[in-house]
Structure 1
Amino acid sequence: MKKGLSNLIPNSLVKKYSFRPPNPPQYTFEFRDGKYQFYPIIKGVKKQIFSYYLLIDSYILKNDQLYVPLIHISGLQNAKSEKSQSKECLLNLKSFQQETEKQPQRYRTLIIFSHANASDLGDVYFFAERISIEYGVDIIAYDYTGYGIGFGQYKISEEQTYEDLQSVLSFAINRLNYSLNQIILWGFSLGSGPATEIATRFGGLAGLILQAPIASIYNWFGEGDYGEQDIYVNYKKIQYVRSNILIIHGDSDKIVGHEQSERLYNKYLQYNARGKIQFALVKGAGHNDLQFHIEKGDNQLGVQIHNMLRQKGVGFNEKEYTLLNLCYVKEHVPGQYMYQYNSLKKFTSSDEIQRKKADGLFFLCTCD
């Protein structure tokens, strides 16, 4: 590290801008008929959502350290059985839900979307809905612990966002019946941090998409090596991602300059083959309007995204399979008792995983 470089940017400044959850949240969850319902809030008004093409399910993953609200957007054709092809079934959500739960395995690609700073599910929903329809994929969008309806209840940190995404990934596999090799992690801006980190842990993923990513938090303020005090050091981690990568950035981005993506791209190529990574620099796109270029689906960028979404990963190795099972957290149901797994950090050996398991991973949780 360059001498004195870490002192050029005060920690207080970094902390101020690193985690800025919207307050109040831009959505709400209401518990009705034994399940959560998601409602975006637009200009202070709660909105009812309904789609003839999509099913939207809401969950909260919760234990003593983790509070993750999420929405799962799936296409109606995703889990229909041959016996339920009628037009009436498409409009009968209760019947569709029953058919969905009978399916042992989903077959569509799943995107797990990690959102930007100063954002929550209320902002993300409409983008996620559009991507699901345009590209024919399922999507999970989630809030980090301490964001959204969990604001003020839990501490927000870099490590916690890693735990959040790892738990969502495990939930998608253990509860929603996806396979690791059909899941793509998608990180936007700050969300590139947890997406990149978890992609280094699970090589069997179908891919990693980074939308206007940061090289690291301190590098967002000024380029350099800031040592251990830096967070979300994507430029040091990206070389260890084994799945395919697509980086998308606008050339007119004034919030996170495209030089951040260029650094990630070049750093990856120092250690890996060119064929595993693509970099799309979108002409005329800024930071927040880049999504409108992504949503089109019929331009050159759309072709790249379509190709990326058709990729399949190699699936589990034994270590990844064990870790995802150990960090499984069941959805929170008010008033019920449930057994939950603690969310676990990254392990270096199967022996350590087994030792943690023997020490007692289960605890009885009273949910309120």
Structure 2
Amino acid sequence: MNGLSISEFCCLFCCPPCPSRIAAKLAFIPPEPTYEFVSDENGKCSFALTERAEWQFTEREKEFIDAFYTRTTRGNRIACLFIRCCSTARFTILFSHANAVDLGQMSSFYWDLGTQMNCNIFSYDYSGYGVSGGKPSEKNLYADIDAAWQALRTRYGISPENIILYGQSIGTVPTVDLAARYEVGAVILHSPLISGMKVAFPNTKRTWFFDAFPSIDKVPKVMSPTLIIHGTHDEVIDFSHGLTIFEKCPKAVEPLWVEGAGHNDVELYPVYLERLKQFITVELDN
């Protein structure tokens, strides 16, 4: 029975879970918004962090931030943020964040990451997160990154070869989906998951028709250089997911397995920035 227990087997085949329920259980935990978009008399948005945010941008830093809405093919208006961290940046990172955070909580990390990597950062909030409209769902997740991709390409005129797709945790799901359809400068998958069922039922060996987030079926189509990062002690998405994604990815480069790291602390290890710098500033240049 593919490694499932009797109870799990009965659960799957007597009342198989639908993808939306798997998605809701595993991934979608929108926090209370930590920012707002403030429109001036001309309708131009500015990015304002609320008191819930852990830090605040200086007035000078705000000059390098663009905030705007774009609309998805499913009709949701989603929030986008472009941070110009480097005036001579070759690459722009399209960042799809993890669950339980929004653009406000991630903004300081984006600023630091872009500055360290000499890259600009473009990110967006999923439907139902931050000030984005709609509700979180798997289908909305794919539509959200498509809208962000189109906005980045058309609004800023950035070519695909100068875009790095970065997905973290649940953010690897839309990242893999997009990367399987477009060739880009590079892809970074940080704590990726094989599929929703394989997180909920770790012993499942195959992809079921009702599975959510089936990245394992899409990653063989990713034809861009791909760096995979995973903590060896990840308590949310087992390390085996990262290993399997690495094995199935045709353009995978040397991965970063962070010994002892869990799900939410990989960035605290010095090897994290070291490996990213090596990948972006050395390997991609070659």
Q: Where do 1:261-276 residues align within 5 Å? A: 261-268=242-249, 272=250, 276=252
Does 2:57 align with 1:75? no
Partner Cα separation in structure 2 for residue 75 and residue 36 of structure 1: 19
Residues 219 and 54 of structure 1: is their aligned pair in 2 closer, same or farther, counting only changes over 3 Å? Answer: farther
Q: Where do 1:189-200 residues align within 5 Å? A: 189-200=169-180
Partner Cα separation in structure 2 for residue 44 and residue 133 of structure 1: 20
Q: Which residue of 1 aligns with 2:65?
A: 56
Once the two structures are TM-superposed, the CA of residue 42 in structure 1 deviates from its matched residue by: 4.1
Deviations 1:85-141 (A, max 9, x none): xxxxxxxxxxxxxxxxxxxxxx52000110111221122111111101111100011
Partner AA of 1:162 in structure 2: Y
Aligned-pair identity in percent equals: 25
Contact 1:113 1:186 in 2 (8 A): yes
Equivalent residue in structure 2 for 1:25, among 9, 19, 33: 33
Equivalent residue in structure 2 for 1:183, among 139, 146, 163: 163
Q: Which residue of 2 aligns with 1:110?
A: 92
Partner AA of 1:227 in structure 2: W
| Structure 1 gap segments, 5+ residues each | 79-106, 294-298, 314-368
Contact 1:27 1:46 in 2 (8 A): no
Q: Alignment partner of 2:94: what SS? A: strand
Partner AA of 1:306 in structure 2: K
Indicate the structure (1 or 2) with the bigger Cα radius of gyration. 1
Residues 13 and 163 of structure 1: is their aligned pair in 2 closer, same or farther, counting only changes over 3 Å? Answer: closer
Q: Which residue of 2 aligns with 1:140?
A: 122
Partner Cα separation in structure 1 for residue 140 and residue 24 of structure 2: 17
Deviations 1:44-73 (A, max 9, x none): 799454455971110110266122101100
Aligned-residue Cα RMSD (Å) equals 2.8
Deviations 1:158-200 (A, max 9, x none): 1221121122112111111211101010000000000001000
Equivalent residue in structure 1 for 2:147, among 145, 162, 167: 167
Partner Cα separation in structure 2 for residue 260 and residue 208 of structure 1: 17
Contact 1:55 1:74 in 2 (8 A): yes
Q: Which residue of 2 aligns with 1:309?
A: 280
Residues 46 and 132 of structure 1: is their aligned pair in 2 closer, same or farther, counting only changes over 3 Å? Answer: closer
Contact 1:116 1:189 in 2 (8 A): yes
Does 2:265 align with 1:284? no
Residues 60 and 306 of structure 1: is their aligned pair in 2 closer, same or farther, counting only changes over 3 Å? Answer: same
Q: Alignment partner of 1:72: what SS? A: strand
Partner AA of 1:254 in structure 2: E
Contact 1:27 1:38 in 2 (8 A): yes
Q: Alignment partner of 1:201: what SS? A: coil
Partner AA of 2:231 in structure 1: G
Q: Alignment partner of 2:83: what SS? A: strand
Contact 1:220 1:256 in 2 (8 A): yes
Once the two structures are TM-superposed, the CA of residue 22 in structure 1 deviates from its matched residue by: 2.5
Q: Alignment partner of 2:84: what SS? A: strand
Contact 2:16 2:210 in 1 (8 A): no
Equivalent residue in structure 1 for 2:239, among 232, 238, 258: 258
Once the two structures are TM-superposed, the CA of residue 259 in structure 1 deviates from its matched residue by: 1.3
Partner Cα separation in structure 1 for residue 109 and residue 164 of structure 2: 16
Residues 169 and 16 of structure 1: is their aligned pair in 2 closer, same or farther, counting only changes over 3 Å? Answer: closer
State the TM-score, normalized to the length of structure 1: 0.67
Contact 1:53 1:133 in 2 (8 A): no
Q: Alignment partner of 2:254: what SS? A: strand
Residues 169 and 226 of structure 1: is their aligned pair in 2 closer, same or farther, counting only changes over 3 Å? Answer: same
Residues 76 and 278 of structure 1: is their aligned pair in 2 closer, same or farther, counting only changes over 3 Å? Answer: closer
Partner Cα separation in structure 2 for residue 166 and residue 16 of structure 1: 21
| Structure 2 gap segments, 5+ residues each | none
Partner Cα separation in structure 2 for residue 108 and residue 53 of structure 1: 22
Deviations 1:218-237 (A, max 9, x none): 11112322412111111121
Q: Alignment partner of 2:197: what SS? A: helix
Deviations 1:18-52 (A, max 9, x none): 44343421211111253211122343799454455
Residues 146 and 300 of structure 1: is their aligned pair in 2 closer, same or farther, counting only changes over 3 Å? Answer: closer
Aligned length: 272
Partner Cα separation in structure 2 for residue 46 and residue 304 of structure 1: 27
Q: Which residue of 2 aligns with 1:220?
A: 199
Q: Alignment partner of 1:29: what SS? A: strand
